[in-house]
A and B are shown apart, each in its own frame.
Chain A
Amino acid sequence: MADWISILLLLFAAFFFVGGTVGLLRFPDVYCRLHALTKADNIGMGFVVLALVIQADSWYWAVRLLATWTFVMAASATNAYLIARAAIRKEIPLWKPSKRE
């Protein structure tokens, strides 16, 4: 039973990771891509960690896994901020939707 829940959670995680990657490939702008990638990847990682927490042997390992997720979120949030700041410094323009006639 626990295995099936883990598999379901991992499938959710895969969906979010694929969504983030599609956003990386298809979005028109650095800022949009950063937004999609960071959010989707963090949530995907959260699902992976939840799936592993269910499989964990003890509370010690569950807390360790959750701590890993927290650190990755902090690091990727800082990363996204730094990339966005560098993009603004380079004056990369924000994408504006063009009017179709």
Chain B
Amino acid sequence: METIEAGIIDLILVLLLVLLAGSSLLLPRLFRAVIAFIGFGLIMAVVWIRLHAVDIALAEAMIGSGVTGALFLAALARMNRSGNERESANTHRTSGARAICLNSNGRVIGNGIQWRGVIATAVIILAMMLMALMVFPLPEPDGKISALVFRNLSDSGVSNPVTAVLLNFRAYDTLLEIGVVLLTLLGLSAVVNRDRLVGPRYTDRVLSGFYRLTLPLLILFCAYMVWVGKYEPGGAFQAAALLAAGGILGHIIGANPRPHNWDGKHLRIAVSSGFAVFLSIGVLLWVQNGLFLRFVPESAGGFILGIEVVATIAISISLVILFHGSSGHPSSFLGNRQLPPAAKEAE
């Protein structure tokens, strides 16, 4: 460690992380486990700052802890609504360890030693120790790739190295990442059975007042975050998380934050526009410069900003729809069709 103080802080952070992760995995009541997980995400954000990864800290605090926590809490609320909080007695007991069986019920089941659990634990611990032995001590980095990035940073159109890597040097990865989010939405709309979606709305004066106070600020900060990502830690994904937070809050209170004449079709267009625009810019650059997604120093800044703006809107709408679909509220993203009658009879 560099200094004693840094060492003490590091040890405290390590201890906190292990405790919170252990709690989220072992606490019998799921609600407490989810709260522990949210805390784990926040301490993780502090660790990212300790490791000089500020962009990741922003993303982890907002997406990794905030949006994921909201998703878990909504799923728990949905589970409680349908009265399934306790595991049904028919649940197949596939694993356990010694006499302590993890049960979301809170009851410790003294079933005796479950050999499958013991063997699984032993195998995993052994495998991890072998991997740790092979990996540690960490080899010295040769730094060639990061030196390459820093050398070409001035030609990339932005001055934040992480944004340059995300949207210029490795833009293909980001294109596929946006594609993955789109795929998840497709999977969601394929899986969700709209007949089964039920959910109350929690309208309340305090909450809607808070919403009216913060939504304009969130939109402003989102725009700022997209713009500042060129120079300082920030960028499209963190901005999308800000806007998604506002959207999720809006959906919880039933505010339906979008233009009135938008329906499922418009939402689908907005959500796929991120991927579509990114792809078209890639093809445009192919035509101009000879390779797919090959940026040139003169025009790179403008293209990157354009991609970021569209991607922010698309990803924020995607995150809100993902929250919607997994929380059990009816969603018009999935279209206004009824289930075909044959499927209903087959049930």
List A residues at the B interface (Cβ < 8 Å).
71, 74-75, 78, 81-82, 85
| CB nearest neighbor in B for A78 | B210
List A contacts of B210 (CB < 8 A): 74-75, 78
- Contact at B213–A74, with CB atoms within 8 Å? yes
- Contact at B214–A74, with CB atoms within 8 Å? yes
Picked from B204, B213, B214, the residue with its CB within 8 Å of the CB of A85 is: B204
Can you name 15 A-B residue pairings with CB atoms under 8 Å? A71-B214, A71-B217, A74-B210, A74-B213, A74-B214, A75-B210, A75-B214, A78-B206, A78-B207, A78-B210, A81-B206, A82-B204, A82-B206, A82-B207, A85-B204
Q: Is the interface of B mostly helix, strand, loop or mixed?
A: helix
List B contacts of A75 (CB < 8 A): 210, 214
What is the CB-to-nearest-CB distance from A43 to chain B, in angstroms, rounded to a whole number? 20
List B residues at the A interface (Cβ < 8 Å).
204, 206-207, 210, 213-214, 217
Measured CA separation A81–B206 after assembly (Å): 8
Measured CA separation A54–B120 after assembly (Å): 54
Measured CA separation A75–B207 after assembly (Å): 10
Q: How many A-B residue pairs have CB under 8 A?
A: 15
What is the CB-to-nearest-CB distance from A52 to chain B, in angstroms, rounded to a whole number? 14
What is the CB-to-nearest-CB distance from A81 to chain B, in angstroms, rounded to a whole number? 5
List B contacts of A74 (CB < 8 A): 210, 213-214
List A contacts of B206 (CB < 8 A): 78, 81-82
What is the CB-to-nearest-CB distance from A79 to chain B, in angstroms, rounded to a whole number? 9
What is the CB-to-nearest-CB distance from A90 to chain B, in angstroms, rounded to a whole number? 11
List A contacts of B214 (CB < 8 A): 71, 74-75
What is the CB-to-nearest-CB distance from A40 to chain B, in angstroms, rounded to a whole number? 18
| CB nearest neighbor in B for A81 | B206
What is the CB-to-nearest-CB distance from B212 to chain A, in angstroms, rounded to a whole number? 12
> 11 more A-B contacts (CB under 8 A) besides A74-B210, A81-B206, A82-B204?
A71-B214, A71-B217, A74-B214, A75-B210, A75-B214, A78-B206, A78-B207, A78-B210, A82-B206, A82-B207, A85-B204
| CB nearest neighbor in B for A67 | B217
Measured CA separation A24–B95 after assembly (Å): 35
List A contacts of B204 (CB < 8 A): 82, 85
What is the CB-to-nearest-CB distance from B76 to chain A, in angstroms, rounded to a whole number? 13
